[in-house]
Amino acid sequence: MSDKKSKPASVPVMNRKTGAQEMLQPAKRQEAPAEGPVQVSVETVAESGDAVREQVPGATGKSKDQEQQKIESLGDFLAHFYAGRTKSLNDATLRKVMKNARIEEVRRYELLALAQEKDQTLEKSLNLMLLAADLNGYRGVEEQLRFFAAEVGRRVNGQGKYSLESWLPRTVDDGLSLEAMANEVREAMQTVAASEAPAADKKKAQKRLECGFYLACQWRLYQGAAPRELVGVLRRSLLAPSLLQRERSDGLVRLLATQPFADVPGLTWLLDDQARLVQQADARADQLEREMRQLAAAKGQAEERLKACEAELAGQAALLHELQAQLDAVQEQSRIQEVHSNDDLSRLRGQVLRVLTSELLILQDVLIALDRDPPKVAVAREYLGSVVEKLNKEISRIKDR
C-alpha cells in the first residue's frame, strides 16, 4: 500500500480567479515503510508525541476495540471520529478504511454537516489533520482526511460571521499569506477579548480561532508553503504577547520535526523552547505542591488554634454566665433588704413620732406648772422625771434593734 517508490498522485484543484482546473502535487513529506502493523492515534494538541500510539488497557481498551470493529469505511470512521466515539485507527480498521475509502457525495455532505455541528471549536478537525500527518504511506486516506478537515474549517465561522475560508484556500494562489493570517488571527483574538459577550462564548470563540489558525498552518504546509516561512510565523506568534495558547502549536511543531526539513533554522529553537517550557512547568508544579503542603500545615495549625480559642471562649462564657447569676442573686437580696429596711425605718419613725407627741403634752403641762405663781416646781420635777425616764427607755429600745 506504500507509495514510497511511486510518484505522488496529482490533486485536481480549481483556481477561483480563472475558473480553470489544474492538477497540482501536494508538498513532499517523509514516507514511512509499509511493513509492520500501523497504529495511529489522534492526539490532542497538548499531549506528547509518544501518546499518539499509547493504548488504554482494561475496559476502556475493549470499548475502543468494539467501536473500531463497527468501522467499515472511511465515512464510518469520520462519523465515529466527529461523534467522539473513536480517536484512533488501528491496523485492522486502517486496512478496511483503505479498501472503502470512497465517499459518496450525499454521504460527504452528511458528514460535513455532522462535523460542523459537533466541532464548533475546530479542535477535532485540528486533531484529524494531525492524524493525517501520521499516515505516511497511505496517501489516499491521508489526503481525504486533510481535505475533509480543511473543508470543515471553511464551514465553521471564527467569530460571529467571521469566515476562516481565506485561511484555508483551495489553491495555492488564493487566500492570505501566512504573515497576514497571523496578524488577522491576533486582531480577531483581541476583538473577542474586548467584546462584551458572555465569558463562555468568548472562550469558545478564542478556542475556535486558535484551532483554526493551527489547522490553517498545517494545511499551508501540505499545500507546499515554505517551511522557513512557517517556522518564522510560528516563532513570532509564540513570542508575541498574544492570546494564542502555546500548547495549541505543540502538534504542529512536532509535525514539522518529522519532516525532511527538520533542520530548518528556528525549528530547533521551537523544540528547545517547548522543552524549556515543560521544565519550567514541572518546576512550577513542584513549587505549587510545596506551597500546598505548607498551606495545609498552616491550615492544620490554624484549625488547632481555632479549636483552643473556641474552648477558651466557651469557658469564659460559662464563667460569665455564673458571675451574672451571682450578681442577679445579690441584687435580688439587696432589693429585699432595702424593702425590709424601709419598713423598719417607717415603723421606727412612727413609734418615735408617737412618743414625742405624747411627751410633748406632758412638757406643755410642766411649762404651765412653772408659770403659776408661785411655780409648782415639785409637780414640774415629777413630770420631767417621767418624761426623761420614758425617753431613755425608748432610746435604749431603738439601740437594741
In whole angstroms, what separates CA 174 from the centre of its chain? Answer: 41
Q: Kindly give the pairing relationship between strand 11-14 and strand 21-24.
A: antiparallel
**Structure confidence by residue, pLDDT tens digits, 86-102:** 887 777 888 888 888 88
Confidence of residue 250 (pLDDT cuts 50, 70, 90): low
Element (H, E) at 40: strand 40-41
pLDDT at 217: 84
Q: At what angle are helices 178-194 and 199-223 packed, to 10 degrees? A: 180
Position with higher pLDDT, 316 vs 366? 316
Task: Give CA–CA dist 178/225, Å, rounded.
Answer: 9
Q: Is the pLDDT of residue 8 over 70?
A: no
Q: At what angle are helices 105-118 and 139-155 packed, to 10 degrees? A: 60
Element (H, E) at 361: helix 267-371
Note the maximum CA span of the chain.
Answer: 175
Q: What is the mean pLDDT of residues 279-289?
A: 87
Contact 193, 243 (CB under 8 A): yes
Q: Specify which residues 24 forms β-bridges with.
A: 11
The model's pTM is 0.49
Contact 27, 38 (CB under 8 A): no
Confidence of residue 312 (pLDDT cuts 50, 70, 90): very high
Residues with Cβ within 8 Å of 74's Cβ and at least 6 positions away in sequence, in order, are 97, 100, 101, 102, 103, 141, 144
Q: Is the pLDDT of residue 302 over 90?
A: yes
Residue ranges of domains in the chain? 74-263, 290-400
Residues with Cβ within 8 Å of 363's Cβ and at least 6 positions away in sequence, in order, are 383, 384, 387
Contact 81, 124 (CB under 8 A): yes
**Structure confidence by residue, pLDDT tens digits, 148-187:** 999 998 887 755 445 778 888 888 777 778 788 888 888 8
Calculated CA dihedral for residues 93, 94, 99, 102, nearest 10 degrees:
100
Task: Give CA–CA dist 270/263, Å, rounded.
Answer: 11
Q: Is the pLDDT of residue 132 over 80?
A: yes
